[in-house]
A and B are shown apart, each in its own frame.
Chain A
Amino acid sequence: MTNKEKGFDTFPKLLRRNAEQRPDLPAFREKEFGIWQTYSWKDVYDNSRALALGMVDLGLKRGDAVAIIGSNRPHLYWVFSATQAVGALPVPLYQDGVADEIKYVLNHAEAKIVIVEDQEQVDKVLSILDECPAIEHVIYKETRGMRHYKQTNLMSYTDVQARGRAYDAKHSGFFEEQAAKAKGSDIATIMYTSGTTGRPKGVLLSFDNLVNSGKLSVEFEKLTEKDKVLSYLPMAWVGDHLFSYAQATQAGFSVNCPENAETVLTDLKELGPTYYFAPPAIFETMLTQMTIRMEDASALKQKMFHYFIGVAKRCGVEILEKKSVSLKDRLLYALGNALVYGPLKNTLGFSQIRVAYTAGAPMGPEVFKFYRSLGLNLKQLYGQTESCAYVCMQSDNDVRPDTVGPPAPGCEIKLDEKSGEVLFKSPGSFVGYFKNEEATKETITADGWVHTGDAGIMTDDGQLKIIDRAKDVGKLNDGTLFAPQYIENKLKFFPFISEAVCHGGGKDTVAAFINIDLEAVGNWAERGGISYTSYGDLANRDEVYAQIKECIEQVNRDLSIDSELAGAQISRFLILPKALDADDGELTRTRKVRRRIIAERYGKLIEALYSDVTDVHIESDMTFEDGRKGSLKADIKVRNSEAYPAMRAAS
């Protein structure tokens, strides 16, 4: 690090550098009125400065918290730099959180100002305002529908900016003075974890954490100001914060916000990002939709598709990794690229991608290989909020589907000998949990190692392989290792299965709950002339059970190859009559299974799995998204699946 660069130890300083060095280059784009509207780095600096001073005029002091609720909007990203410039703390929240979740975080962070996107969020905040005494002002970006709100503590984003400009005229130099006060060791932001277990925890990240993580990863991937990223994942999620804020401000590349959540795929195609990030679920959905759409294509197209996908499977990954491939395959692949892979990538919006990442959950190896074989440089990343998003990153020429790569630059990893838990040390290692000394002590050891809670294995050549959450890894009664997520991920690779929950810790055998994918199974049913009335009805059809049974037995066959896991094959299963849903508390907002809640709600079904009944009746109370209560009543079938004898892989 040169001395000159040392001056840029906070984001407001980096933003100012960008505004001075590349004032006219695009920093943000937002699709509005059907057109991509561009904001240059200078626009961003000016806007962010006006907002900051407006908030100061409203009474914002150093150390106060400013909450951000809304979808990815340039104006909301500017809140980060605005708040940080005057020494306050930005706290992004998950916008689809229900009022109760939002209330908890707002109170815990003691947010003084809340900046929201539109009327919907204003209403949500106003409904809990009485219970959040710290909130003094609510600022909204979209003015639509806001004309009749008379609350004095409610103000539009542009009004606050106008106040800021007036303040600036009266107090010249104030902003520069404030921005210069910040140093690298100051806390930059509080990111609340999604709360897989219990209440969300506020992770304190310093400028050093975020600026250095951004810098190291930008260098690792050679990102430049010419890159483009589509920002569509929740702003409250650390990954988005790293890509759309830390790396973007560091490298000076442009952040592009889609029009709204439904247009993401269209916007992706129009924009053609060079740098892309998506959780495995999105890649899986794309693959499922692609498969469904191919079934509707003409016979010739189907033939061509399947033939060239076969070619790609054989040699695509090797070509991407620049390994030796026969001339014939190379030529076939080039032809396939012209006829199938190129148009396919173009349809998906992947034509210009240099680097694509997936993280958050392990990805099915088949899905992973599929995208890589098309020539998409898809890689895995492993990390958590506590490490500023990454600990491991895969390098371009050594990408394996079953590992998450070697430790990233500057990161160190060790495994707990007894539990197999992964511990790390990295430039991004967080400062602590906000107002939670106890949890901080439990997570960070005295010598600076951070517990991840994930169980992992280190391969001989130093690549990390994550099996499951450490606390979820259990043993069957006969001592066989039982890693539920590992099996669930294998199940979820099948297009028919959207979610799975495996049981087995402390039991004799493994049994599974299955969620069918309505689109894929529904399409298949239509084709086969199977009529159904609802999700529950479809899920209960014998024909569907037969299909799912085949999928499960395929997984069992895979498991039987691995001697360590062969004992953990699925012996019984049932299909749930409703899709597991974050709104019902069964999944986290990042779509991770909440085992405890599921075990409570569907306890009777688990009992049935471990008895010999073939039918079970369930009644369970549910709270729907809009707050109404109802009950779920259904008769569910329970079926056996075949297990295969263990065999050793010929290795």
Chain B
Amino acid sequence: MEEQNRQIGDVLLAVEDISLSFGAVRAISDVSFDIRKGEIRAIIGPNGAGKTSMLNCINGFYHPQQGTISYKGNTRSQMKPYEAAAQGIGRTFQNVALFKGMSTLDNIMTGRNLKMKSSLLSSVIWWGSAQKEELEHRRYVEDIIDFLEIEAIRKTPVGRLPYGLQKRVELGRALAAEPELLLLDEPMAGMNLEEKEDMCRFILDVNDEFGTTICLIEHDMGVVMDISDRVMVLDYGGKIADGTPEEVRADQNVIDAYLGGGH
């Protein structure tokens, strides 16, 4: 693989030859790819191509029957999602998975959970280090709120927010965990053009400002091509193309898969 961008570094995550089946259904078959430090990596493909399954494998929600995943040079066998989170893999979900009754602020605060050190008892009485710690975390969360421009909805229960904003809050919660690798599952699904443009800007800014490596799944090819460094295309669980947006766009297999025939 040729160098895409001078800021992109070594391989952060390598997926080798993984296969995943649910009974007789093969969701992913023999896929290998890597994610490099600092890049925006996209996985695209038609419905049911195995994109979300791939993300679920990466953050330890599914365990592939075959193949290995190595993160930061460590090959892992079975890993639980919370271990993945502790190692710096954050994610958002295709269907917004927020605490609907809680405010934006509180939702993002939950993203700091892994960083909180104080004991249950001191948290309950909220004294001394627990109080100091919460203030520090609140400060970090406020930075994220400022970054994502959601000051106006700080105290609004997220259930009352429009979909586009909920997606933004979810991104905020993922950022709160200070992930090194951020997995975004269809961050732009169901958004209108303006919301998509906003989200693109935030993804690029997150990558740029925090240096977060991003792996995103997307349906909308146009958007992905504009912001990604490299794109992998899945179809029926198998990899059919991998490369720069230009290469992928010109690939005959991709054209066939998306347009259903030799156009």
**Interface-side segment among A199-207, A257-265, A325-333:** A257-265
Please tell me if B143 contacts chain A, counting CB pairs below 8 Å: yes
Contact A260 B205 (CB under 8 A): no
Question: Could you tell me which residues of chain A, from 1 to 38, have a CB within 8 Å of some CB in chain B?
Answer: 32-35
Please tell me if A147 contacts chain B, counting CB pairs below 8 Å: yes
Contact A263 B151 (CB under 8 A): yes
Question: Could you tell me which residues of chain A, from 68 to 84, have a CB within 8 Å of some CB in chain B?
Answer: none
Contact A34 B154 (CB under 8 A): yes
Contacts of B151 in A (CB 8 A): 34, 259-260, 262-263
Which residue on B lies nearest to A31, using beta carbons?
Answer: B151
A260 with B149: in contact, given A144-B209, A147-B208, A148-B208 (CB under 8 Å)?
Answer: yes
Contact A266 B152 (CB under 8 A): yes
Contacts of B205 in A (CB 8 A): 144-145
Contacts of A266 in B (CB 8 A): 152, 155
The 8 closest A-B pairs by CB, nearest first: A33-B142, A262-B152, A259-B151, A263-B152, A34-B142, A263-B151, A260-B151, A34-B154
Question: Could you tell me which residues of chain A, from 116 to 149, have a CB within 8 Å of some CB in chain B?
Answer: 144-145, 147-148
Main secondary structure, interface of B, reads helix
Contacts of B145 in A (CB 8 A): 33-34
**Complex formed: what's the CA distance from A260 to B145 in Å?**
12
What's the minimum C-beta distance from A535 to chain B, rounded to whole angstroms?
Answer: 16
Contact B146 A33 (CB under 8 A): yes
Contacts of A145 in B (CB 8 A): 205, 208-209
**Complex formed: what's the CA distance from A266 to B149 in Å?**
15
Please tell me if B160 contacts chain A, counting CB pairs below 8 Å: no
**Complex formed: what's the CA distance from A35 to B142 in Å?**
10
Contacts of B146 in A (CB 8 A): 32-33
Please tell me if B82 contacts chain A, counting CB pairs below 8 Å: no
**Complex formed: what's the CA distance from A262 to B208 in Å?**
26
**Complex formed: what's the CA distance from A129 to B97 in Å?**
45
Please tell me if B117 contacts chain A, counting CB pairs below 8 Å: no
**Complex formed: what's the CA distance from A502 to B154 in Å?**
42
Contact B143 A33 (CB under 8 A): yes
What's the minimum C-beta distance from B160 to chain A, rounded to whole angstroms?
Answer: 14
What's the minimum C-beta distance from B202 to chain A, rounded to whole angstroms?
Answer: 11
The residue among A33, A148, A263 with the most chain B CB atoms within 10 A of its own CB is: A33
What's the minimum C-beta distance from A268 to chain B, rounded to whole angstroms?
Answer: 13
A-B contact pairs, 9 of them (CB 8 A): A33-B142, A33-B146, A34-B105, A34-B145, A144-B205, A144-B209, A145-B205, A259-B151, A262-B152
Contacts of A32 in B (CB 8 A): 146
Contacts of A263 in B (CB 8 A): 151-152
Per-residue A-contact encoding for B197-224, CB less than 8 Å = 1, 0 else: 0000000010011000000000000000
CB contact between A144 and one of B105, B142, B147, B155 (< 8 Å): that residue: B147
Contact A33 B152 (CB under 8 A): no
**Complex formed: what's the CA distance from A341 to B157 in Å?**
27
Which residue on A lies nearest to B156, using beta carbons?
Answer: A266
**Complex formed: what's the CA distance from A144 to B147 in Å?**
8
**Complex formed: what's the CA distance from A263 to B150 in Å?**
10
**Complex formed: what's the CA distance from A35 to B143 in Å?**
12
Please tell me if B139 contacts chain A, counting CB pairs below 8 Å: yes
**Complex formed: what's the CA distance from A35 to B141 in Å?**
13
**Complex formed: what's the CA distance from A144 to B209 in Å?**
8
Contact A33 B139 (CB under 8 A): yes
